[in-house]
Chain A
């Protein structure tokens, strides 16, 4: 499964009208030549490349690190992530430092080609030049891999890169991160990591129909590839409000905490990226995220005697309670709790439906290596039964969330069948 593509391309119609409306900002020029042999830079770059999770897209499963070729699904078609090893012919070995900086800060590649925002330059634009050059220094220290990749697999008209002029005009605000006044250094460090290299919003912010971020709903959750990336604001029910900073740190570090376990696209983010970060950075991310606003969640649970709730309770006892326990508390480090779990109470039940129908596996990390899995109930429960049991877990033990309908489940099932899952 291709993970974490970010977003998408734009309609070519926009190109002509918007082409000249706004010029690209001037590129910052390096004051002094960059030292590509500095150990400190290379090591810092390795950390930043991990933080920015470059490998998620630029390494093909089973392929050489950073040699590209991985298909990035977008709603408009597939893109193949390019080779970013220092190979002169097929990688970025011939790029000047400024080319590399431009790619991350303004979405313009070597020779000025426009990148699609599947490359998350709308986030990387926040990154400081010296951080970007550190990543470059690290990439330059890799073994060059000859691996030609034809990135653009999009159908017409999205394959016209000039269309990105219009998209950028509409949705891209270039510019470096500015610390917020009145906030702590830790909060600002978290803000930089989340908004910039971490590009959390790429998944956790809902997109408009052209693949641009809905900025008014930043980090309140987004759908991608049949998953709902949860709300990661301070919302006490749907977001991280009920988690302590330590809970968030544990989740990002180990894939598990006292409530939940990471699965789906986030599993790969944790194993490739966040589990390798320093505790200080994880803490900064947690502090910043928990301080982000979100509209209030519903507060009234469904009545326990509702027919769907009663049916759901019976199904839960029969099919779910062995692992998730009668009281919904799960088993820490192995089976996620249902009680108080933000994922269970998310506004959008896409992930829940997918997990029940298809099953899923917790991320395995050195700290919790089992990677326990939930089996598929696709063949075992009807749409109505899945809807009832999800409605039950979303409205029991103090949980509150909208009911799930059989129609929701039915469309989830259809989507999975169309994707060849399970």
Chain B
């Protein structure tokens, strides 16, 4: 029995980064906004205070901040010839849960994508010819350009107080910044974080080889900062409990430290937590969303009517709700037609582990986004012509943590347990450094999301099914950029060095990164995209979908800055265009 509630102007599904950004913009515009969040309310002092936030067992090993697979999970297979099985514990990625979403437990790397990333197919085709791309690669242009998004990147960075050094201000190259980045309108809001020894060594070695190292842009702040909403963040303490953890020191940019203090004071904002949206409701025409149906923590079912529905959950769950609610045409890998579930992509990470005799890196002095990087092997910043692949990634010495349970790198050949293992951990803890790459993952015809035919969730809905594997292009790319990273590391003369390029098949049980992408992508053609350039559903114009769900493929960067820039871009389109004349913002 579903009880119908009084209508509201806007209902937001999921109160993470993008839900909070849209809620702030739309309540400021005077609308009544109800945000419905599956997980609990979370705030710094009550949920991750400094007195116990740095608990690796609780948060990293036991996944305290994340969604429980028993509540919702998905099935996985590497290819359509296999039978997918449910993920019963999280592995390669960590679905967020609760107010703040992934913004609570991210590492806070705050990168912009390259201008060419947004026009990827046109750019690569123009430079290398259409035949250079694998036949089954389904990369697309985004329908927005870097220049369109620049003001919104800026808005997010100035919301967060991002610490970094510009490499290009209005077309003028800046010493010490990323020379490859798109032009930005001004300097970062705060200077870069102080770099520890490892990143400094990497930068020196890279510089000696002619590269242009620069500090990784960080949402863990180098100094106190008050943002454009009047909310203050504190300086980072370099404790190294960022990713997987909430920040107890108010120093990591998150919805809690940047937006929610203002939002909760607005009388036209309401959050309903521990309430799970079961489906988006459509009217008979199936061209208009009438609101959502959700289930509260006591299992009671409620209908929340709304004029505007904003789907702001985690990428995979956005696609799940679209498929389950029957919005848009599901993707068919046989024909390549349909758009919901199309172009699922991921991220290709790799590393080089170097063991030294004479160095002390103090790995525990760290922050999630500290580090010195180079961008010479990202995107199309280098000539792929002779290399036989496309894509790339940033690489560098980034010192995210030296936490006690999992910071146990030992040289190959060391036993996995016992006295010899303990001895090796002790000998290598301070003097080992893992240098990393963070690479692109392009989209393919056979990588997609759909509904599982066998398994259902606690609400009786079919689980989302992931069909995904790495392709040769990505594995070649990873080998190549991992080798280039190793060239730099070699300059540091380690005792031994191990290269760990990404290899196939994709293993869903081993943590890599939570950067799952695509499935309801944006674009300029409703035949190949689910959303128009404003993240508006082509099929249901009073529905907007945020998140990495909209990425046609993934670039060689962490996605959050782009996810949030797109949310601000969509918010402006809603406030300045849609509200004045509700309907499709782009004519197909």
Number of A-B contacts (CB under 8 A): 63
List A residues 351-395 near B (Cβ within 8 Å). Answer: 359, 361, 364, 366-377, 380
- The answer to whether the Cβ of A136 comes within 8 Å of any Cβ in the partner chain is no
A335 at the interface (CB under 8 A from B): yes
Does A334 count as interface, using CB distance less than 8 angstroms? Answer: yes
- Tell me which residues across on chain B come within 8 A of A333, comparing CB atoms: 224, 226, 232
Measured between beta carbons, the chain B residues less than 8 angstroms from A369 are: 229-231, 261-262, 265
Q: Is there a chain A Cβ closer than 8 Å to B239's Cβ?
A: yes
Contact check, A322 vs B232: say whether CB atoms are below 8 A apart: no
- The residue that A371 contacts in the complex, of B51, B239, B261, with Cβ under 8 A, is B261
Q: Which of A331, A364, A368, A376 contacts B235 (CB 8 A)?
A: A331
Per-residue CB proximity of A322-336 to B under 8 Å, as 1/0?
Answer: 110000000111110
B205 on interface, CB distance cutoff 8 Å: no
In the complex the two chains form, is A370's CB within 8 Å of B51's CB? no
A375 touches B257 (CB 8 A): no
B250 engages A372 (CB within 8 Å): yes
Contact present for A377 and B51 (CB under 8 Å): yes
B116 at the interface (CB under 8 A from A): no
CB-contact partner of A334 in B46, B237, B250, B265, under 8 A: B250
Of chain A, the residue at the smallest CB distance from B46 is A373
Over the window 231-243 of chain B, the binary record of Cβ atoms lying under 8 Å from chain A Cβ atoms (1 yes, 0 no) is: 1111101010000
User: Cα distance A367–B229 when bound, in Å?
Assistant: 9
The residue in chain B whose Cβ has the minimal distance to the Cβ of A380 is B51
Query: Looking at A333, A335, A375, which has the most chain B CB atoms within 10 Å of its CB?
Result: A375
* Min CB–CB distance B115 → chain A (angstroms): 36
Contact A335 B50 (CB under 8 A): no
Residue contact A359 to B230, C-beta cutoff 8 Å? no
Residues in A whose Cβ lies below 8 Å from that of B230: 366-369
Task: Give CA–CA (A364, B382) in the complex, Å.
Answer: 50
Q: How far is the CB of A357 from chain B (nearest CB, A)?
A: 12
Contacting residue for B261 out of A322, A332, A370, A380, CB 8 A: A370
A261 to chain B, nearest CB (A): 11
What per-residue 1/0 map shows which CB atoms of B248-262 lie under 8 Å from chain A?
Answer: 111000000100011
Distance in angstroms between the alpha carbons of A90 and B49 in the assembled complex? 45
Q: How far apart are the CA atoms of A375 and B224 in the complex, in Å?
A: 20
Asked if B44 is at the interface (CB within 8 A of a chain A CB), the reply is yes
CB <8 Å contact, A323 and B45? no
Point out the residues of chain A lying under 8 angstroms from B233, CB to CB. Answer: 334
In the complex formed, the residue of B with least CB distance to A323 is: B249
A375→B53 CA distance, assembly (Å): 11
Chain A interface bracket (under 10, 10 to 19, 20 to 34, 35 or more): 20 to 34
Bin the interface of chain B by size.
20 to 34
Q: Does A323 contact B49, Cβ atoms closer than 8 Å?
A: no
Contact of A322 with B45 in the complex, beta carbons under 8 Å? no
* Contact assessment for B45 and A372 in the assembled complex, using a CB-CB cutoff below 8 Å: yes
A373 touches B44 (CB 8 A): yes
Q: Mark B207-235, 1 if CB is under 8 A from A, else 0.
A: 00000000000000000101001111111
- In Å, the complex CA distance between A368 and B232 comes to 7
What residues of A have a CB within 8 angstroms of the CB of B239 in the complex?
322
B contact residues around A377 at 8 Å (CB): 51
Residue of A nearest to B233 (CB): A334
Does A322 contact B224, Cβ atoms closer than 8 Å?
A: no
Decide if B45 touches A331 in the complex (CB within 8 Å): no
Q: How far, in angstroms, from A165 to B7 measured CA to CA in the complex?
A: 57
A322–B237 CB distance below 8 A: yes
Report which of B49, B237, B250 forms a contact with A375, defined as CB distance below 8 A.
B49
Which one of A319, A361, A370, A374 contacts B231 once the chains associate, using CB atoms below 8 Å?
A370
Least CB distance, A366 to chain B, in whole angstroms? 7
By a CB distance below 8 angstroms, the chain A residues around B249 are 322-323
Q: Given A332-B224, A370-B261, do A375 and B234 touch, yes or no (CB 8 Å)?
A: no
- Residue in A366, A370, A373 whose beta carbon sits within 8 Å of that of B232 in the complex: A370
Min C-beta distance of A117 to chain B, whole Å: 35
Considering the chains assembled together, what is the distance between the CA atoms of A366 and B231 in angstroms?
9
Docked-complex contact A372 and B44, CB < 8 angstroms: yes
The answer to whether B224 touches A334 (Cβ under 8 A) is yes
The reply to whether B232 and A375 form a contact with Cβ atoms under 8 Å apart is no
Q: State the CA gap A212–B46 with chains docked (Å).
A: 38
CB distance from B570 to the nearest CB of A (A): 25
Which residue on chain A has the smallest CB distance to residue B262?
A: A369
Given the interface pairs A322-B239, A374-B45, the reply to whether A334 lies near B248 with Cβ below 8 Å is no
| Minimum distance in angstroms from B24 CB to a CB of chain A | 12
B50 and A334 form a contact (CB under 8 A) = no
For residue A272, give the distance in angstroms from its CB to the closest CB of chain B: 14
Query: Once bound together, how far apart are the Cα atoms of A359 and B231, in whole Å?
Result: 21
Interface residues of B in 307-354 (CB under 8 A from A): none
Distance of A96 from chain B, by nearest CB (Å): 37
Q: How far is the CA of A351 from the CA of B257 in the complex (A)?
A: 27
Q: Is A364 in contact with B265, judged by CB distance below 8 angstroms?
A: yes
Q: For the complex, what is the distance from the CA of A370 to the CA of B44, rounded to whole Å?
A: 10
Do A364 and B261 form a contact, CB below 8 Å, given A323-B249, A334-B250, A375-B248? Answer: yes
Would you call B49 and A366 a contact (CB within 8 A)?
no
1/0 per residue, CB under 8 A from B, across A43-86: the answer is 00000000000000000000000000000000000000000000
- Of the candidates B45, B235, B265, the one whose C-beta lies within 8 Å of that of A366 is B265
A331 with B265: CB separation less than 8 A: no
> What separation, in Å, do the CA atoms of A334 and B224 have in the docked complex?
9
Q: How far is the CB of A17 from chain B (nearest CB, A)?
A: 52
Question: Which residues from chain A contact B261 at a C-beta distance below 8 Å?
Answer: 364, 369-371
Rounded to whole angstroms, the CA-CA distance of A119 and B44 in the bound complex is 37
A358 to nearest B CB, angstroms?
Answer: 12
4 further contact pairs, Cβ within 8 A, besides A319-B51, A368-B230:
A369-B231, A370-B257, A372-B44, A375-B45
Closest 7 CB pairs of A and B: A373-B45, A375-B49, A369-B261, A333-B232, A322-B237, A375-B51, A370-B261
20 residue pairs of the A-B complex, CB under 8 angstroms, read A322-B237, A323-B234, A331-B232, A331-B234, A332-B224, A332-B232, A361-B45, A366-B265, A369-B261, A369-B265, A370-B231, A370-B250, A370-B257, A370-B261, A372-B234, A373-B45, A373-B46, A375-B45, A375-B51, A375-B248
